[in-house]
A and B are shown apart, each in its own frame.
Chain A
């Protein structure tokens, strides 16, 4: 979302100020070192037979199965119109992407091969540079260089983080660099003007419990790609909501940036445009969660900047739904 622009600008300005300042700093180096963003700080990988989870105390659903992100290297977020996100978030990248079959859901380690646009390397003209390169220690997984593996969840099954293998990605390319200057930041269309090159990615699913109420997709991206993926991505996720009886509810979600949400195969909410993630930013019309299992799917797209999402249900009377359980199958 282009509110990210402010963040990018602030970070950039800060970088300029730091660069212009003295060589020393009064900040304890350990404080900087403590500001790591390890994948493990955000997610706990869970097994397929994990005990059902409950919504958290505020009703947020933290258990999701998320596919390693698909490249969609938008240089800005201002073009996320209804038609654009409908096109991009309902595009079939792999077989079974839109299944509503509760019995054929992927599990951790399942892989898909996805053909997507190649991330653009370099080219961080103007302010683009502010967002392309993360400040030292601010957002990269600890461990430094891509491939070090420190950001990967420990003990992950086959195909889990660290084994997602961008195929044909530019070597040494910065994660989603190249905003393309002001035009891209301020008003550029999401898609690159030139025909994009494509790459094939083998992407794996990960069942996780988020340690935060919101699912920090950007940390999921960096943590599952050895820092190769950060911006310009599409995320696909699902969760299974188990009900003891039919329930009339509203799905309430927030996302950075745009997203579409489905329940049992029906699109129930669209959050178009350049958005921050806000709890209850959007709410669906009244929908019925069936007794038994209900499949909730989300797709989120973002260009540069933070990406995350959160979701919970409300009863028709405005109270938060808590009498459900959450599973990954």
Chain B
């Protein structure tokens, strides 16, 4: 972040935090959010100035407890059963001095109501710094715990190099054995590092910060086999030379993605927390956002939450479509061997065949619950599902009602971990579905609740032609679905 104290945004953020924000599509007010953390079933983050947000479900965010230290652009990581906070003190911003410092502190819990809450000052340590006018401004900390259990912190901003040094994961203090900080990129903000499939990825933010709807903030990355680099982008350019492959920039209605943090929910389910510089639907304020991470050809990209609309729910297993098990209704016309083989129909003018409509078939559908099954997609009314986001959700996804388009007939979980559709959506928990895009781009669809069990389950293919509920396994193709629009 560009020393947004100078820009006076601290006051704005503070005012915003006094409001109770009901996030729609994830838009509570914050700037430079720390990686979203889960603690005892709730989710937390903190931004520049120490302002905090909390969420009961990961979708609806409200103003939360501030962290005890006011600083710039914090980050946090869970190590064992403790939470290590890293934040920055700054020398004055883009046009000021550049004597920054990275400070770490441990805490036992993030729940301010817990007697164990707090970040004891005795654990506080300055682990990196920059002096007045060197080619680095030691702010914007980002933490990574490697698969081997080594702890690193990256830091720096637009004034020179991004650097990395190693910390002791037991104490959070600097490991002097690491030696001098290593330059790993140049002129970024909000860097952090993640590990995926043999590579370390350095993520940073390029573009213009803090300019509202005109901001061009964008998240980029390079990758390396070592946490000390070199980090090379997709065209072979070193991030020390300014390289970086785009992860996320701007999307309609939202400008300026920055301050990446990664949340691994479980294998195949990853989220990125970040902020939009401006949310057009929220007066252009800076807001927290959470999107899926999709890995494509070895590079992370921001995925998509499902927009309200009508979709085919296609099984990744077979490519068949989820439908309600109603009587197949043949369509008239549009056939004839002459047409198939090219004979006899060559001289005839083509006509457009109307699609089968809901009103053509709904009269013969059973009035009560109707089972679902999976079969060839023919864009028939019993195969078209409308997703409508609700005002509650799970981490990074709203819950959706999923109904047959044009009706209120809703997909529902049943006792015994099976499926049905009920004639009317009531908003009951078993009729609410989270939809997570997975790291391979497919989707996981989970009921909020299943009657009679607390098991966490998702929509699964059973055989090619049936569907049920079962435990999610990213390596099981039965657990994955594609949502198609044509």
Contact = CB atoms under 8 A, between A and B. Distances in A.
A32 interface: no
A187 B463 contact: no
Given A281-B463, A281-B465, A284-B466, A272 B330 contact: no
Nearest to A269: B466
Contact of A281 (B417, B464, B468): B464
A82 B417 CA distance: 24
Nearest to B331: A187
Contacts of A187: 330, 335
Contacts of A286: 416-418, 468
Contacts of B326: 82
Contact of B462 (A127, A186, A250, A273): A250
Query: Chain B binding site: helix, strand, loop or mixed by DSSP?
Result: loop
Interface residues of B, number: 21
B336 interface: yes
Contacts of A126: 337
A29 interface: no
B406 to A, nearest CB: 21
B325 interface: yes
B465 A282 contact: yes
B337 A82 contact: no
Interface string B324-361: 01111010000111000000000000000000000000
Given A81-B328, A285-B416, A285-B418, A318 B463 contact: no
B239 interface: no
Given A280-B464, A284-B466, A318-B476, A272 B336 contact: no
A271 interface: yes
A266 to B, nearest CB: 14
Nearest to A318: B476
B375 interface: yes
Contacts of B328: 81-82, 272-273
A52 to B, nearest CB: 27
A224 B77 CA distance: 72
B284 to A, nearest CB: 49
A186 B328 CA distance: 15
Given A182-B336, A186-B335, A286-B416, A82 B464 contact: no
A271 B465 contact: yes
Contacts of B476: 318
Contacts of A281: 463-465
B318 to A, nearest CB: 9
A301 to B, nearest CB: 15
A182 B343 CA distance: 14
7 contacts: A79-B330, A186-B336, A250-B462, A269-B466, A273-B328, A278-B464, A283-B468
Interface of A: 78-79, 81-83, 126-127, 182, 186-187, 250, 252, 269, 271-273, 278, 280-286, 314, 318
**Nearest 4 pairs between A and B by C-beta?**
A283-B463, A283-B462, A282-B465, A280-B463
Given A82-B328, A281-B463, A283-B465, 13 more contacts: A82-B326, A182-B336, A186-B335, A273-B375, A278-B464, A280-B463, A281-B464, A282-B465, A282-B466, A283-B463, A284-B466, A285-B416, A285-B418
